[in-house]
A and B are shown apart, each in its own frame.
Chain A
Amino acid sequence: MKPSRNWIVVLAVVAALIGIRAFSGQGMGRVFVKAEPITVQVAADARMGTPAQSVSWTRWSAVPAKAYFAAERANPQQTEIQFSWARTMGLWLAAFLTLAIFSFMYRDNPAYRFAEAAIVGVSAAYWMTIGFWDTIVPKLLGSVWPNFVKANILPSLAEQSTVQVVAMWAALVLGIMLLMRLSSKGAWISMWPLAFIIGVTAGLKIVSHVESDLLQQSVATFKPLLALERGADGAVAMAPTVWLSLRNVLIVVGVLSCLTYFFFSVEHKGLVGRSARVGVWYLMITFGAAFGFTVMGRVALLAARVEFLFDDWLWLIDPSGKRVVETLSMVVG
């Protein structure tokens, strides 16, 4: 058989299994939501010329399937907890995207490339939106057009000082200059805001790295090499003292020897060479631990995705008891 035909057979079998799963037992891959009506009385605003009014809407919150099953059993006519088409479609989309990314383990394929292309577009727009609502609106627009922002988006916007307003106009000019990067003729103008970004980053990084990394880590390394641990009677407890002291000595020796390895102004020979070699051993242990830790983290993520597929989508497992009520009702009858 051709590879494409193999794929069709595999996909047909998977689709048939999913179809059987969807129509047997509890079904699968459904999301339920609970309605919460909200009504707010808005006072009249003389400044805006709006009368007193009542604004209401319904907030829909996701609930476990067992809540829906329980509500349906109690009253089949109830409408408080409902099946959500939008969220169910989202769940199936998430399942498709998860499988599409996993399919790369076999080889590059259209499903994977589709998911890859989608994530590029979505994440670019996502971060642009976050930047717009979290920074541009409250800081830039809030300073440049405070009345508009206050009347439509952020009523709690604080008054801006003159310095702040001037600075934000400067930021707007720098931002527009940055966008000149897209033009072929005026691209050099974008170097000015870029210089500002580079300068501020450099100034910030010096302070933050020296303060929080260099100084704090150095201070934390100054540990007593003989750490006396006392018991309840006030006498020195031998075993804890030995362990704590050994631990402190190992940390101090480790930091100093690793730093010796990083110090290239002196040739790594003699005492310096031996110290640097110990530093390499420490670094190898650190990299090994980092590797183990990373693999564990990735495997935990993998487990979470597999749990999503088998629990949220296929409803084959139920570790957090989301559907336990119906299971019981099926047993009880």
Chain B
Amino acid sequence: MKRLVPLWIAIIAGFAMLLSAFLPATESLGETFGDVFNVVAAIAFVLGAGSLAKINLAKVSRKDQGWGYAVVTLVCFAITLLAGLGKIGVHPNPNFAALPWSGDKESEGGLFAWIYEYGLVPITATMFALLAFYVASAAFRAFRAKNVEAVLLLSTAFIVLLGRTFAGVVLTGWLPDWASGLRLENLSVYIMQVFNTAGNRAIIIGIALGVAATSLRILLGVDRSWMGSGDAK
């Protein structure tokens, strides 16, 4: 019972979505299932938040190593949640001015927008920016032109990097017009439009085939690994 019911729920929900793409009569059924899916997925955020609170509160109560950071996480979580759910500092929508809750949660001047602009954006953008150093450092350590494949990878990266900078334009700007295709900026565009397109296209086709096959295995009940306990056939 504990495994059979979930299996049938997955099969029925999956085939309903699949059928709605092929039978116009079942299109609204697919939309309804999609709406239910979105709501359950939104409630899953509550589950995530509950889990986050549970783990961090346990850390604080046990006074584990670094429990102070768990307090920071909990405080930041609580403030952001309060600001967002309470729409603190948000003015009503001018079209429905009598309703104080009608304003956009992310409107300028609200606490939620303030946290997003001055907290979330700087940290995430800087973390991604930091990767520039680590990618360069890892590439410097790992990339060695040992064979044809490595030479191709290295030279392509070099051309694409240089071709998108001012240095690339200066370095090969002296080439005459009849050889302009060899200028780094043009070479970079050609690589992106031809070789990169071909490689990416094959990868995308491969992924699509893989996703379709895996999804079919789930819908037909062949793959049950998602239920845990190593029940995959």
Contact = CB atoms under 8 A, between A and B. Distances in A.
A207 to B, nearest CB: 4
A199 B126 contact: no
B201 A221 contact: yes
Interface in B16-53: 16-18, 21, 28, 32-52
Interface in A255-293: 255, 258-259, 261-262, 279-293
B98 A42 contact: yes
Contact of A254 (B38, B149, B198): B198
Contact of A199 (B72, B205, B206, B219): B219
Given A192-B5, A200-B14, A295 B52 contact: no
Contact of B37 (A127, A197, A302): A197
Given A60-B109, A202-B10, A207-B21, A196 B118 contact: no
A57 B130 contact: no
Contacts of B39: 135-136, 139-140, 168, 171-172, 175
Contacts of B10: 195-196, 198-199, 202
Contacts of B7: 195
A116 B194 CA distance: 40
Interface in A49-94: 50, 53, 55, 57, 59-62, 86-87, 90-91, 93-94
B152 interface: yes
A113 B157 contact: no
B10, B11, B16: residue with the most chain A Cβ atoms closer than 10 Å: B10
Nearest to B120: A122
Given A117-B72, A155-B96, A155-B99, A97 B84 contact: no
Contact of A210 (B38, B41, B208): B208
Given A40-B94, A289-B196, A127 B201 contact: no
A195 B6 contact: yes
A120 interface: yes
Given A117-B69, A200-B13, A286 B74 contact: no
Given A91-B118, A124-B48, A255-B201, A289 B160 contact: yes
Interface in A89-121: 90-91, 93-95, 97-98, 101-102, 104-105, 113-121
A285 B160 CA distance: 10
Interface in B57-95: 66, 69-70, 72-81, 84-85, 91-92, 94
Contacts of B191: 285, 289
B43 A178 contact: yes
Contact of B15 (A120, A163, A203, A279): A203
Contact of A170 (B17, B36, B133): B36
B45 A131 contact: yes
Nearest to A286: B199
B176 interface: no
Contacts of B133: 105
B147 to A, nearest CB: 10
A286 B191 CA distance: 8
Nearest to A251: B198
B120 A298 contact: no
B171 interface: no
A8 interface: no
A154 B75 CA distance: 30
Given A55-B97, A200-B37, A294 B201 contact: no
A191 interface: yes
5 contacts: A105-B133, A121-B80, A196-B10, A292-B161, A301-B129
Which 5 A-B pairs have CB atoms at the shortest separation, nearest pair first? A254-B198, A286-B199, A203-B17, A129-B84, A288-B156
